[in-house]
Amino acid sequence: DTGVSQDPRHKITKRGQNVTFRCDPISEHNRLYWYRQTLGQGPEFLTYFQNEAQLEKSRLLSDRFSAERPKGSFSTLEIQRTEQGDSAMYLCASSSMDTYEQYFGPGTRLTVT
């Protein structure tokens, strides 16, 4: 079991550019979550997938954000036309239907200049 992995670990981009992050969950986990965390705060829920279906999306997620999980395995989170306020750590977590524990990946730190 290799744990949840995320790529890239760090991303610096200029305002207005598009960025895409990838998350690979623990292999047998069919539930996948994206969170955003800013300095000094706890993670904030963004969206949830069960297998390939996106079942919930936070109101925090503007229409510039889109997430996919095409085959129920890895997931991508894309931010279009980035703004400075998008600077944060983007965390991915996964869990199985049988247990409740969510395991987090190392995160992608986004800096928008």
Q: Which is nearer to other proteins, 39 or 84 (CB)?
A: 39
Q: Which is nearer to other proteins, 45 or 74 (CB)?
A: 45
Contacts of 109 (CB under 8 A, 6+ apart): 9, 10, 11, 88, 89, 90
Q: Which is nearer to other proteins, 52 or 80 (CB)?
A: 52
Binding residues for other proteins, rule: CB under 8 A, are 4, 31, 33, 40-45, 48, 50, 55-56, 91, 95, 100-107
User: Shortest gap between Cβ of 16 and other proteins (angstroms)?
Assistant: 27
